[in-house]
Amino acid sequence: MGHLIPLTELAHRLLLHRRLFITFIIPTATGSPVKPQNDILNAMPENISSIFLPPVDLNDIPEDAALETRIILTLTRSLPALRQTLTELTGESIRKRPSALVVDLFGPPSFEIAKELNIPAYLFCTVSAMSLVSIFHIPIFDQMYDCEYKDLPEPVRLPGCVPVHGANMPEPLQDKKNDAYVGVVESSKMFSLAKGVLVNSFLELEPGPFKAMEEGDWCKPKIYPVGPLIRSGSENQTGEGFECLKWLDEHPVGSVLFVSFGSGGTLSQQQLDELAFGLEQSGQRFIWVVKSPHGHGKSHTSYFSVESHLDPFGFLPEGFLGRVEGRGLVVSSWAPQVEILSHGSTGGFLTHCGWNSILESVVCGVPMIAWPLYAEQKMNAVLLTNGLGVAHRVEVDENGVVGRDEIDKCVRSLIEGEDGRKSRLKISELKALAAEALSPDGSSTSSLLDVAQIWCN
């Protein structure tokens, strides 16, 4: 969803400016959730159509395989079906010949097919410009460093970016013996084969990385900053989602903390307890999107897990819901995030630092507590704290847990403390810059028009 949502927004924005026909081609794996994707795609205007490729079988993959390995395999095993689909589209008529293939971060293995069929290949980068700089450097660092990233004595200095401790580099890079590492290194090498990369960020948010990509000889494709592309947030006006907004209406401006770990982020049972007690102890108002905890030693994501189907309320500490009644609203698994962040009563966002969540918070001017879990989220947390000064990062103790006192402190400081006030000021400046970037003469609009013009020609 974190890739599909911004891609559909990109499609919408392209159609605002140019008459194009857009087809989404979506690889799937057995057991992966197709319904939420379908809901989004079915709501598209008629110039946008979608094709789900036949599900690939991942039953031979070990249960503990990394998320990245599963996604990469879903894509590579779908390549024959993708070739067939693209060949059919290309063969239909000259008029219908695709003018570009735009893939997401996991899509570069399909560039070979695009080349065979003579279709220019582009990437849509659903992560920050800083993360994109890191992707271009993965093959270089692979040659340079023998040790694990976390053991590097000095912070990693990516051109134009805030320095990052090796342990904060993206998760699939953290274990060189894991298949995910090899997969990511191989995939990163292919990024240079793209004709252009559209980035869901904007010049004014990340001037350093964009300048570095323009100047560095390590960056071959043309870079187009086109963000922030976030869901417009007009859906979900019914049911539980609507209840959240009604609930927010009853609370003072800037007083509610929104707590969510994205579409797939999960915590352990111990961590879930600490979070519940920390929120309770803080005495602050909150909306918490709670998901069932992951099993012992399992990863922080529920994209492919069985646990995500269990009722999350059953895992909350006894009596918790009663004790926070009136000032805390707990929602099961999914909430209308954009609508909540744009509501005046929301004063802070405790986030897992997924890039879409960050952009949504920037667009709505809501300061954050950074609680990164997986993927490139720790790197995003460094950008938010050391780079942009719009978030405070939670401290994880020696057992890998964020304790209730730490949570209590961070929440109070964000909603009513000096740190929160400073972050709020900073993020309201970024909010204005984001609106400007998307305005008719803004930097992202002109960049989008540049690439759209190439496709129309």
How far is the C-alpha of 395 from the C-alpha of 371, rounded, in Å? Answer: 9
The answer to whether 343 is a known catalytic residue is: no
40 binds ligand UDP (CB under 6 A): no
Instruction: Select 9 or 408, whichever has its Cβ closest to ligand UDP.
Output: 9
Confirm or reject binding of residue 170 to ligand UDP (CB under 6 A): no
266 lines the binding site for ligand UDP (CB under 6 A):
no
Total site size for ligand UDP, rule CB under 6 A: 19
Q: Does 378 bind ligand UDP (CB under 6 A)?
A: no
CB closer to ligand UDP, 212 vs 230 = 230
CA distances from 300 to 100, 218, 264, 330, 426 (A): 35, 33, 8, 20, 30
**Segment lying near ligand UDP (by CB under 6 A), choices 70-78, 117-125, 351-359, 446-454:** 351-359
Q: How far apart are CA 219 and CA 194, in angstroms?
A: 10
Helix (H, G, I), strand (E, B) or coil at 4: helix
Catalytic residue among 17, 39, 57, 104: 104
Tracing tokens 């912070």 back to the chain, one arrives at: 155
Label residue 140 exposed, middle or buried (CB < 10 Å: 0-12, 13-18, 19+): exposed
* Binder among 37, 200, 263, 284 for ligand UDP (CB under 6 A): 263
Nearer to ligand UDP, 9 or 274 (CB): 9
CA-to-CA distance for 384 and 352, rounded, in angstroms? 12
- Contact region with ligand UDP (CB under 6 A), list: 83-91, 158-166, 258-266, 382-390: 258-266
Does position 356 interact with ligand UDP (CB under 6 A)? The reply is: yes
Task: State the minimum distance, in angstroms, from the CB of residue 120 to ligand UDP.
Answer: 27
111 binds ligand UDP (CB under 6 A): no
Contact region for ligand UDP (CB under 6 A) — 25-33, 63-71, 354-362, 412-420?
354-362
What tokens appear for 442 in the block?
A: 């803004």
Amino acid of residue 324? V
The DSSP call for residue 439 is: S
Angular region, 50: left φ>0, alpha ψ -120 to 50, beta rest = beta
d(CA 374, CA 354): 9
Separation between Cα atoms, residue 107 and residue 317, nearest integer Å: 42
Stretch that binds ligand UDP, among 50-58, 196-204, 335-343, 393-401 (CB under 6 A): 335-343
Q: Which of 192, 219, 223 is nearest to 206 (CA)?
A: 223
Three-state secondary structure call for residue 199: strand
Query: What is the enclosing helix (H) or strand (E) of 142?
Result: helix 129-144
**Residues 240, 246: Cα–Cα separation, whole Å:** 10
Minimum distance of ligand UDP from residue 247's CB (angstroms) = 15
Identified binder of ligand UDP from the candidate list 137, 231, 300, 343, rule CB under 6 A: 231
Residue 288: what residue type?
Answer: W
Binding of residue 391 to ligand UDP (CB under 6 A) = no
Select from 107, 170, 183, 262 the one that contacts ligand UDP (CB under 6 A). Answer: 262
Segment near ligand UDP (CB under 6 A), from 94-102, 154-162, 201-209, 263-271? 263-271
Minimum Å gap between C-beta 360 and ligand UDP is 5
Nearest distance in Å: CB 262, ligand UDP? 3
DSSP 8-state assignment for residue 301: B
Strands 222-225 and 196-199: parallel
The CA-atom distances, in angstroms, between 254 and each of 248, 299, 349 are 10, 33, 11
Which residue carries 């490729």 as its tokens? 53
Confirm or reject binding of residue 1 to ligand UDP (CB under 6 A). Answer: yes
Q: Does 354 bind ligand UDP (CB under 6 A)?
A: yes
Which of 260, 302, 443, 444: binder of ligand UDP (CB under 6 A)?
Answer: 260
Considering beta carbons, is residue 88 or 240 the nearer one to ligand UDP?
A: 240
User: Could you say whether residue 361 binds ligand UDP (CB under 6 A)?
Assistant: no
Q: Which of 264, 365, 367, 403 binds ligand UDP (CB under 6 A)?
A: 264
- 336 backbone φψ class: left, alpha, beta (φ>0; ψ -120 to 50): beta
Q: In the bound complex, what is the minimum distance in angstroms from residue 261's beta carbon to ligand UDP? A: 8
Q: Contact between 70 and ligand UDP (CB under 6 A)?
A: no
**280 contacts 257 by C-beta, under 8 angstroms:** no
User: Could you list the residues that contact ligand UDP (CB under 6 A)?
Assistant: 1-2, 5, 231, 260, 262-265, 289, 334-335, 337-338, 354-357, 360
Residues serving a catalytic function are 3, 104
